[in-house]
């Protein structure tokens, strides 16, 4: 738990340093003008995959795969995208921006929590429309060596993509130039 907390603090500090808590940075990524957000997320997901695999193998983590519901994934993706486009924050950057004093992030956080509560309340009525339950889908195999290979390749692909993006389109310390003019 302490390691996870320290990793979260490290991620927050890096996120703050590169400015992914700023509206301009998020919108710059949405407009494909600034790939800082993508690079940070690729490295974070790759690192998390490796760390979770080690924790799981040591018995310190539990793998609980939820059922695949295509309608729910599509609806959730659309709502996530609309919320991110309207606010300029993703769920991870919103609390960080709130901690920096961005009041709009507080409104977004309250809205997200309210939407989650509403979904919980209406779930019994919308459940039939979110599609068939396709069961728990995952790539985990019982052989730890094969699973380690899958995780290592996955992480390596994400790291390679982040470094490729960095070489292809390096990001400036400040949000991408032209974001403001592209939004007009």
pLDDT in tens, 42-87: 999 999 899 889 888 888 888 888 889 888 889 889 988 888 888 8
**What residues are paired with 67 via a beta bridge?**
136
Structural domain that includes position 70: 65-137
Please determine, for residue 29, whether its predicted confidence score (pLDDT) is greater than 80: yes
Please indicate, yes or no, if residue 129 is contained in any of the structural domains: yes
Quote the pLDDT of residue 42. 93
Domain shared by 71 and 94, yes or no: yes
Q: How many domains does the chain have?
A: 2
State the average pLDDT for the chain. Answer: 84
Q: What is the mean pLDDT of residues 114-139?
A: 88
Closest residue by Cα to residue 43 from 11, 20, 3, 81: 11
Quote the pLDDT of residue 174. 55
Please determine, for residue 142, whether its predicted confidence score (pLDDT) is greater than 60: yes
Closest residue by Cα to residue 73 from 124, 20, 19, 134: 134
Please indicate, yes or no, if residue 177 is contained in any of the structural domains: no
């Amino acid at each position: 738990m302490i390691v996870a907390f320290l990793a979260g603090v490290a991620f927050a500090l890096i996120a703050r340093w590169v400015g992914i808590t700023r509206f301009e940075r998020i919108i710059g990524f949405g407009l494909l003008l600034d790939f800082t957000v993508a690079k940070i997320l690729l490295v974070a997901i790759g690192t998390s995959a490796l760390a979770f695999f080690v924790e799981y193998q040591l018995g310190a983590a539990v793998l609980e795969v939820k059922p695949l519901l295509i309608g729910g994934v599509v609806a959730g993706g659309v709502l996530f995208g609309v919320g991110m486009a309207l606010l300029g924050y993703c769920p991870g950057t919103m609390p960080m921006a709130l901690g920096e004093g961005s009041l709009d992030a507080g409104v977004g956080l309250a809205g997200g929590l309210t939407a989650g509560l509403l979904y919980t309340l209406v779930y019994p009525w919308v459940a039939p429309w979110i599609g068939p339950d396709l069961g728990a889908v995952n790539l985990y195999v019982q052989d730890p060596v094969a699973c380690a290979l899958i995780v290592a390749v996955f992480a390596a692909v994400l790291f390679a993509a982040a470094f490729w993006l960095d070489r292809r389109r390096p990001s400036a310390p400040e949000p991408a130039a032209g974001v403001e003019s592209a939004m007009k």
